[in-house]
């Protein structure tokens, strides 16, 4: 099996190389003039991904005014020591000279890791970089940029048109305005690439096109819309990195993501060769959703923050893999509120299903009202009366085009107000450590050590405060936890026993002393116990003079506990998601192992299903299931490696004060199968009643085991009874078996929880039951992916809200339903009491009105990891 896949893969690659090499000279993916240089090193070395980085000195035309240096500390979020730990520092203008193929376009990637190098003050790094006649960076400060973007390192990617002279001069010049400024660089990549640019029409000026062929461009965003992160070494030969688009989605309308069925093959053509974008971009998409009424009411919108006074080239990638005929899905494209193209029909453009196409548009972004945003919006073309009122997008690239003076440089980004506040708090903290916090040291960095080989250019965290609400008194440290953990500024000095915490967590984990833990819990007073598990007891605690937390203290005698403790820190400290419980920190001292989490005011899902005075309404139940599904979907697909939870059950789904579901308890979780494996063999663990029978038989763990367990959770929610109830007659003890048999006999309706039976509409229950039954398929292969489960549940909820009747949908109501797609990124502001949370609708009241959206986070080229850790914090 495994070998087959390898052969197949290499065949695919091989034929691709042959094909491109033959098709035309300019499109061949040749690496004949590639330079991959680690600056300041004395000999070549490989990075963590096996890419070889050569020393840079022989390309310097005069090396007299540069010195080499090694960074004094290594941030844990660096993907690799090469090329970041070594730098070349320039105190006066210096030039690298490369001889390049004159007819080829080239990538120029510059890697910067701002750190303290010998006796240079890291805040004096102001410099410019030019490549031939183009200015790539000007008055650039890597340290300011990194701080504003909360990135340890920065990668800038440019693409230079053919250089006729065959000689590329890359010049670094320290700023003459700032005293004592210097320039530096850690890594330089210059790689020839096919000419991927062509004339693009200017939005709003139908007669004007802009021909980017001779221009220099800077990559601003490159998104695999509706899909996942694609590493540079997994790109289609052009070493680009593609990111998830969800951080850029605007407002409440999230659409739905989908993936091509296996039987649909992506067919490249001479118009769209494979190097334009990899298969993964075209085989995943975001569409508006199944409900035409909702779709007509909203625009599927992405917002990007860009530098003003530049022209941008936008490339929209399309590939239809669900529909096959003309006029099935026809939509309009708006860019900055202007119609870029109306009535786009991907099938009409491409000719058939599975054939990729792309469209390029150019637009000038001016500086009016300091609105330097780029809006991309899609809306169904109602006038064409298509079969489906829907829109689709598979990929999106945004490039900045050089201005008339050959400049590409923009200003340094400013930290967002919230970040500025967090930073100043952090500084205050490090200057005046509190007494109770004897160690007083916070470990880690924003991004855990997960990082893949990521192209990181920049992140802009752009927080758009709600205008009406400026009361920021109630700061929530947990929400901005990541900023406490910036090891770049707060160096970790962990002593003795705690030492491996720092390596374990990869960073994002605050360290607590045992004394603090005792204070927080009244010396582990029994009255504070809110839960007891295999690991030990869970206490309600108060830290930082008011923040409620849940404190899980292990039973010191438990050996197994230690392992689970490590797993939990290791995984959770790297994962941040609205639907995963957040780990705030840990304490490991004197044989104590204590984990500190966000406090979940409403306890476990189970408590609200049965044994409860006031069982949840059907809608609340569904919303919680959707939240939990989202959390699990993220575990399965959002991280670099699949993470299998292994213990999905109603007691591990917690609910916060706003009834937001959070998946918890990662003690048993496992990193899933890697590239050449289909499963992980392991000892069977989990909870009875939820255990996947296939996993039990084969002892092979896949993410489908979680899907099975989640199916049991869905039944528990529907039927309002535990997964196992030994007091019932034999055939009813196991809920999954019982429900499957009732479903076969057509009597499932009879076992629905009477508390909610009256509320559920028939279409919703059918969709819900069908989803649960699919999850419970005996064989993993027949079970849906968590993403599909999520989609089905959202659809079920829409059916509940809007059971397809002819009665018109009230605006507000309509919004509610598609808001389901938004929970992932909806951002809560720091203050808490602003939203009333007693009704299920209030759940989303913050985002019902897009104007009230408290924040948008915009990311330009973030390492994948940082997206996880930082942006999905919410």
Which residues contribute to the site for ligand NAG (CB under 6 A)?
24-25, 61, 95, 97, 132-133, 139, 141, 144, 165, 167, 169, 177, 215, 231, 233-234, 261, 263-264, 280, 297-299, 308-309, 311, 334, 336-337, 367, 371, 373, 375, 377, 379, 401-404, 406, 411-412, 675
Judged on CB neighbours under 10 Å (0-12, 13-18, 19+), 534 is middle
- In the complex with ligand NAG, the residue whose CB is nearer, 282 or 690, is 282
Buried b (16+ CB within 10 A) or exposed e, 222-257: bbbbbbbbbbbebbbbbbbbbbbbbbbbbbbbbbbb
Buried b (16+ CB within 10 A) or exposed e, 559-568: eebeebbbbb
Contact in structure between 609 and 616 (CB atoms under 8 Å): yes
- In the complex with ligand NAG, the residue whose CB is nearer, 373 or 607, is 373
Query: CB of 314: closest distance to ligand NAG in angstroms?
Result: 13
C-alpha angle 399-402-407 in degrees, rounded to nearest 5? 130
Query: CB of 26: closest distance to ligand NAG in angstroms?
Result: 7
Q: Which of 723, 733, 654 is nearest to 691 (CA)?
A: 723
Residue tagged 């019902």 (tokens): 848
- In the complex with ligand NAG, the residue whose CB is nearer, 129 or 715, is 129
Query: CB of 337: closest distance to ligand NAG in angstroms?
Result: 4
Query: CB of 404: closest distance to ligand NAG in angstroms?
Result: 4
Query: CB of 730: closest distance to ligand NAG in angstroms?
Result: 38
Residue 682 three-state SS: coil
Query: CB of 115: closest distance to ligand NAG in angstroms?
Result: 18
- In the complex with ligand NAG, the residue whose CB is nearer, 42 or 338, is 338
420's tokens:
């500025």
DSSP secondary structure string, 777-819? -SSGGGSPPHHHHHHHHHHHHHHHH--S-SSPPPHHHHHHHHG
Alpha-carbon gap, residue 525 to 777, rounded angstroms: 45
Q: Which listed residue (244, 332, 360, 647) is catalytic?
A: 647
Query: CA dist 607 to 102, 651, 815, Å?
Result: 69, 8, 30
Residue tagged 């059971």 (tokens): 803
Our answer to whether residue 692 is catalytic in this structure is: no
Query: CB of 364: closest distance to ligand NAG in angstroms?
Result: 9
Judged on CB neighbours under 10 Å (0-12, 13-18, 19+), 494 is middle
- In the complex with ligand NAG, the residue whose CB is nearer, 467 or 473, is 467
Judged on CB neighbours under 10 Å (0-12, 13-18, 19+), 777 is middle
Q: Could you say which DSSP state residue 266 is in?
A: P
Alpha-carbon gap, residue 359 to 50, rounded angstroms: 35
- In the complex with ligand NAG, the residue whose CB is nearer, 255 or 720, is 255
Q: Which of 334, 333, 322 is nearest to 290 (CA)?
A: 322
56's tokens:
């840079």
Alpha-carbon gap, residue 134 to 810, rounded angstroms: 54
Contact in structure between 373 and 304 (CB atoms under 8 Å): yes
- In the complex with ligand NAG, the residue whose CB is nearer, 241 or 840, is 241
Encode 324-352 in three state secondary structure: CCCCCEEEEEEECCEEEEEEEEHHHHHCC
CA R_g for the chain: 27
- In the complex with ligand NAG, the residue whose CB is nearer, 145 or 802, is 145
Under 8 Å CB-to-CB from 358, ≥6 apart: which residues? 272, 276, 277, 315, 316, 317, 318, 395
Query: CB of 346: closest distance to ligand NAG in angstroms?
Result: 15
152's tokens:
């340890």
Residue 552 is assigned to a ligand binding site: yes
- Antiparallel, parallel or unpaired: β 592-598 and 583-589: antiparallel
- In the complex with ligand NAG, the residue whose CB is nearer, 324 or 688, is 324
Query: CB of 675: closest distance to ligand NAG in angstroms?
Result: 5
Residue 67 three-state SS: strand
β-sheet bridge partners, residue 183: 90
β-sheet bridge partners, residue 415: none
Phi and psi (nearest 5°) for 156? -110, 130
Alpha-carbon gap, residue 610 to 722, rounded angstroms: 8
Query: CB of 589: closest distance to ligand NAG in angstroms?
Result: 39
- In the complex with ligand NAG, the residue whose CB is nearer, 340 or 629, is 340
Alpha-carbon gap, residue 637 to 156, rounded angstroms: 27
DSSP secondary structure string, 718-750? HHTS-SB-TTS-GGGSBHHHHHHHHHHHT-GGG
- In the complex with ligand NAG, the residue whose CB is nearer, 133 or 427, is 133
- In the complex with ligand NAG, the residue whose CB is nearer, 167 or 681, is 167
Query: CB of 769: closest distance to ligand NAG in angstroms?
Result: 21
Query: CB of 372: closest distance to ligand NAG in angstroms?
Result: 7
5's tokens:
């896949």
Interhelix angle 786-801/762-775, rounded to 10 degrees, is 170
- Antiparallel, parallel or unpaired: β 243-244 and 217-224: parallel
Binding-site residue set for ATP: 552
Please give the annotated binding residues, written as ranges. 552
Give the residue numbers marked as catalytic. Answer: 647
């Amino acid at each position: 099996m495994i070998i087959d896949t390898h052969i197949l893969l290499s065949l695919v690659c091989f034929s691709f190389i042959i094909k491109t090499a033959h098709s035309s000279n300019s499109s061949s993916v040749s690496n004949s003039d590639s330079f991959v240089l680690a600056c300041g090193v004395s000999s070549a070395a490989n990075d963590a991904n096996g890419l070889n980085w050569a020393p840079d000195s022989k390309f310097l035309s005069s090396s007299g005014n540069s010195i080499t240096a090694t960074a004094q500390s290594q941030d844990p979020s660096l993907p690799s020591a090469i090329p970041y730990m070594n730098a070349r520092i320039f105190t006066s203008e210096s030039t690298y000279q490369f001889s390049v193929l004159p007819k080829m376009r080239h990538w120029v990637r510059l890697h910067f890791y701002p750190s303290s190098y010998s006796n240079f003050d890291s805040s004096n790094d102001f410099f410019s970089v030019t490549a031939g006649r183009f200015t790539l960076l000007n008055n650039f400060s890597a340290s300011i940029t990194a701080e504003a973007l909360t990135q340890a390192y920065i990668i800038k990617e440019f693409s230079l048109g053919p250089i006729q002279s065959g000689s590329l001069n890359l010049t670094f010049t320290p700023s003459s305005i700032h005293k004592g400024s210097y320039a530096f660089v850690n890594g330089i990549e210059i790689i020839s690439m096919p000419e991927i640019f062509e004339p693009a029409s200017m939005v709003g000026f139908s007669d004007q096109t802009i021909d980017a062929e001779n221009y220099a461009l800077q990559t601003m965003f490159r998104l695999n819309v509706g899909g996942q992160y694609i590493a540079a070494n997994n790109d289609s030969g052009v070493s680009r990195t593609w990111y998830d688009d969800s951080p850029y989605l605007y407002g409440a309308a999230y659409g739905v993501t989908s993936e091509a069925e296996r039987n649909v093959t992506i067919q490249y053509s001479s118009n769209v060769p494979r190097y334009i974008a990899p298969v993964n971009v075209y085989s995943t998409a975001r569409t508006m959703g199944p409900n035409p009424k909702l779709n007509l009411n909203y625009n599927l919108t992405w917002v990007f923050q860009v530098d003003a006074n530049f022209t941008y080239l936008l490339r929209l990638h399309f590939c239809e893999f669900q529909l096959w005929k003309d006029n099935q899905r026809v939509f309009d494209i708006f860019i900055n509120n202007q119609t870029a193209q109306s009535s786009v029909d991907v099938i009409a453009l491409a000719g058939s299903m599975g054939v990729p196409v792309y469209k390029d548009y150019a637009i000038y972004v001016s500086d009016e009202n300091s609105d330097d945003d780029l809006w991309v919006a899609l809306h169904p073309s109602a006038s064409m009366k298509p079969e489906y009122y829907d829109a689709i997008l598979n990929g999106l690239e945004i490039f900045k085009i050089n201005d008339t003076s050959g400049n590409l440089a923009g200003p340094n980004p400013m930290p967002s107000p919230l970040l500025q506040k967090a930073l100043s708090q952090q500084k205050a903290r490090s200057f005046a450590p509190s007494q109770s916090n004897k160690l007083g040291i916070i470990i880690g960095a924003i991004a855990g050590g997960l990082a893949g080989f990521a192209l990181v250019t920049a992140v802009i965290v752009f927080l758009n405060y709600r205008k009406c609400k400026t009361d920021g008194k109630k700061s929530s440290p947990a929400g901005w936890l990541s900023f406490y953990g910036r090891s770049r500024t707060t160096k970790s000095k962990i002593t003795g026993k705690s030492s491996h915490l720092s390596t374990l967590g990869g960073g994002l984990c605050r360290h607590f002393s045992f004394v603090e833990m005792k204070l927080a819990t009244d010396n582990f007073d029994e009255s504070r116990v809110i839960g007891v598990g295999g690991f030990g007891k869970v206490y309600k605690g108060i830290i930082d003079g008011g923040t409620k937390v849940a404190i899980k203290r292990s039973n010191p005698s438990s050996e197994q506990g230690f392992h689970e403790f490590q797993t939990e820190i290791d995984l959770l400290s790297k994962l941040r998601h609205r639907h995963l419980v957040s780990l705030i920190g840990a304490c490991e001292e004197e044989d104590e192992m204590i984990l500190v989490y966000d406090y979940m005011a409403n306890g476990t899902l189970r408590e609200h299903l049965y044994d409860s005075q006031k069982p949840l309404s059907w809608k609340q139940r569904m919303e919680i299931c959707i939240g939990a599904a989202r959390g699990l979907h993220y575990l399965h697909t959002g991280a670099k490696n699949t993470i299998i939870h292994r213990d999905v059950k109603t007691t591990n789904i917690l609910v916060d004060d706003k009834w937001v579901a959070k998946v918890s308890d990662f003690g048993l979780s496992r990193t899933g199968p890697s590239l050449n494996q289909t499963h992980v063999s392991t000892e069977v663990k989990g909870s009875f009643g939820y255990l996947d029978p296939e996993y039990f038989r084969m002892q092979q763990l896949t993410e489908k085991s979680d899907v099975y367990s989640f199916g049991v959770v869905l039944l528990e929610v529907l039927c309002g009874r535990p997964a196992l109830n030994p007091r019932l007659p034999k055939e009813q003890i196991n809920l999954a078996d019982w429900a499957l048999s009732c479903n076969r006999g057509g009597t499932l309706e009879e076992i629905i929880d009477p508390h909610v039976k009256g509320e559920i509409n028939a279409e919703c229950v059918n969709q819900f039951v069908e989803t649960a039954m699919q999850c419970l398929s005996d064989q993993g292969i027949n079970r849906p992916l968590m993403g599909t489960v999520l989609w089905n549940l959202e659809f079920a909820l829409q059916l509940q809200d809007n059971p397809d009747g002819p009665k018109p949908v009230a605006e507000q109501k309509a919004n509610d339903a598609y808001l389901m797609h938004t929970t992932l990124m909806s951002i809560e502001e720091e203050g808490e009491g602003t939203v009333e949370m007693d009704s299920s609708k209030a759940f989303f009241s913050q985002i019902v009105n897009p104007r009230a959206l408290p924040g948008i986070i915009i990311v330009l080229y973030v390492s994948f990891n940082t997206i996880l850790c930082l942006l999905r914090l919410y």
